[in-house]
Amino acid sequence: MSNTGKDEFEKEKKLAIKKMSANKDLGLLTKSWFIESCTYKYSYNFTWMGRPVIQYPQDMIAMQEIIWQVKPDLIIETGIAHGGSLVFYASMLELIGGNGQVLGIDLDIRQHNRSAIDKHPMAKRITMLEGSSIDEAIVREVYNRAKTKTRVLIALDSNHTHDHVLQELKAYSPLVKKDSYMVIFDTVIEDLPEDFFPDRPWGKGNNPKTAVREFLKSNDRFVIDKEIENKLLITVAPDGYLQCIKD
């Protein structure tokens, strides 16, 4: 495809995304589908290179696009679970080439998960820290490991309460430089019915999206990249793709 052809393709795509995002009926249909899919734990259906990833495929595609665009030499993820996201990020860095690394943080890394991740072919690019992502000692260790890195990408996907995510945002945002991203997963909690999480400490009014809103009131280095969610339609991270616009 020539540059002219590529430019025309991108122009048409952006126009289609703009029209699609303005379609209120499609938006309602998407929300209805998302809520219904959650009742079946849809995000649990997928694996990446053999490990459960517990993400919606649309967000994985978005993360792939961001990783290719940013080409980070360090990806930090809070919340490990089965390790599928760590393996996904590591495999993207493997495809890009270079020495990029993935750093995962979790309060409780189950031994069977740690063992499976350590034995995985992508383990050479993965390091795991056990502890709370907002614990001062963990934050210091993350900064120590990031001090030689120039392009850091951050994914927050641990405790989804407002206070916890807000502390994560404040703690780790200085590591992200211009044109890179912080991605805050499960901001969609704010858009779900009131009684959707009866056994969880988070819910409507107390979740990652409310933390993002609070964070952006006092931080002008980041903006919400609305085009990502507009083209995905289905995402667990509405208003959660934050692009850094200044160092």
Counted domains in the chain:
1
Signed CA dihedral, 91, 107, 82, 164: sign only: negative
Max CA distance (Å), the chain: 54
Strand (E) or helix (H) holding 56: none
> Is 36 part of a structural domain of the chain?
no
> Is 30 part of a structural domain of the chain?
no
| 247-147-81-88 Cα dihedral, nearest 10 degrees | 70
> Is 238 part of a structural domain of the chain?
yes
pLDDT for residue 2 is more than 90: no
**pTM reported for the whole predicted model:** 0.96
Are the CB atoms for 198 and 217 separated by under 8 Å? no
> Is 240 part of a structural domain of the chain?
yes
Q: What is the mean pLDDT of residues 68-79?
A: 98
- pLDDT at residue number 5: 82
pLDDT for residue 1 is more than 70: no
Q: Provide the CATH number for the domain around residue 99.
A: 3.40.50.150
> Is 3 part of a structural domain of the chain?
no
Query: 133: domain range?
Result: 41-244
Are the CB atoms for 115 and 141 separated by under 8 Å? no
pLDDT digit string (tens) for 19-63? 999 999 999 999 999 999 999 999 999 999 999 999 999 999 999
pLDDT for residue 173 is more than 80: yes
pLDDT confidence bin for 6, thresholds 50/70/90 = confident
Q: Is 68 exposed, middle or buried (0-12, 13-18, 19+ CB in 10 A)?
A: exposed
Cα end-to-end span (Å), the chain? 35
Q: What is the mean pLDDT of residues 157-178?
A: 98
DSSP sequence for 145-156: HHTT-S-EEEEE
| Separation of alpha carbons 177 and 235, rounded Å | 24
Q: Is 151 exposed, middle or buried (0-12, 13-18, 19+ CB in 10 A)?
A: middle
How does DSSP classify residue 203? B
